Structure 1
Amino acid sequence: MIGLSSCSAITMTRYAKEQNYSLTGLEVHAEGRLNEQGDIEAITFQVTLEGDLSPEQKADFLEYTKVNCKLLCTVSPDIAISYEEVKELKMMNANCSLEDGSCCV
């Protein structure tokens, strides 16, 4: 998930430069959802976009990234991919398996 988040952020940053968008800050967090067999069935990306961006530009970022992130293109088409803009990142499913919670940091 870290690799997918990083690739998404790089794709968005590159696209912002190409389009002359005023992107001043960006955070991406990805989390997978497992099915009953333990396979990933969906990946949700939470994205914060900072800068003087219109709602249309923000929607454009998310759609462009979903289609053009090179690493994301290697994910099985059976896995549902979604991007959502959030004002502040929060852990979507903070079910840590380590006692100190370090897996959720």
Structure 2
Amino acid sequence: MAEAEVPPPGVVIVEDRNIGPFAETVRVGTHVLSADEPVSAGGTNTGPSPYDYVLAGLGACTAMTLRMYARQKNWPLQKVRVWLKHDKIHAQDCADCETKEGKIDQIDRQIVLEGPLSPEQRERLLQIADKCPVHRTLTSEIRIQTRLG
């Protein structure tokens, strides 16, 4: 694929940037992004890490889903802010997890809703957050098919 060529809709292309051991160029439609690892992990910190992008996708989807729902209901939601953090935790520290040994991934998500919402509206929006498509993908069975091109 030529450097300036735009990938087709629904396709993401990741290519080495040759400026560090982990630096990558990410092409999504007409958008060109960078990905890398922090210096502390051996990268050159020229872009967000892959896990940062996972969190960004979940956060963006959460905010979009909440705004769309509030708009449909004509609720006075003025702003949504989503804080996310990824960690690896010991499986034994998770009472409601199927995995009981080793480590599991944990994403902590805090949602800040601004606007004169009632307690019932706020609670409903909290429930709706778990219905965003990216949340559903991350909490469902995922199959990744890999082949050489």
Q: Settle same-fold status: TM greater than 0.5.
A: yes
Question: Does residue 1:58 correspond to 2:85, yes or no?
Answer: no
| Higher RCO, Cα 8 Å, sep 6+ | 1
Residue identity (%): 30
Name the CA shift for 1:32/1:57 in 2 (closer, same or farther; >3 Å): same
Question: Does residue 1:76 correspond to 2:130, yes or no?
Answer: no
> Displacement of 1:38 after TM fit?
5.2
1:33-44 equivalent positions in 2, closer than 5 A: 33-36=87-90, 37=102, 39-40=104-105, 42-44=106-108
Please say which structure displays the higher CA radius of gyration. Answer: 2
1:18-57 per-residue CA deviation (whole Å, 9 max, x = no partner) reads: 11100111100111231245541x2221111111101110
Displacement over 4 Å in runs of 4+? none
Q: How many aligned residue pairs are there?
A: 76
1:72-100 per-residue CA deviation (whole Å, 9 max, x = no partner) reads: 1111359xxxxxxxxxxxxxxxxxxxxxx
Q: Which amino acid aligns with 1:71?
A: V
Q: Which amino acid aligns with 2:63?
A: A
Q: CA RMSD in A?
A: 1.8
Structure 2 unaligned blocks of 5 or more: 1-54, 91-101, 142-149
Structure 1 unaligned blocks of 5 or more: 79-105
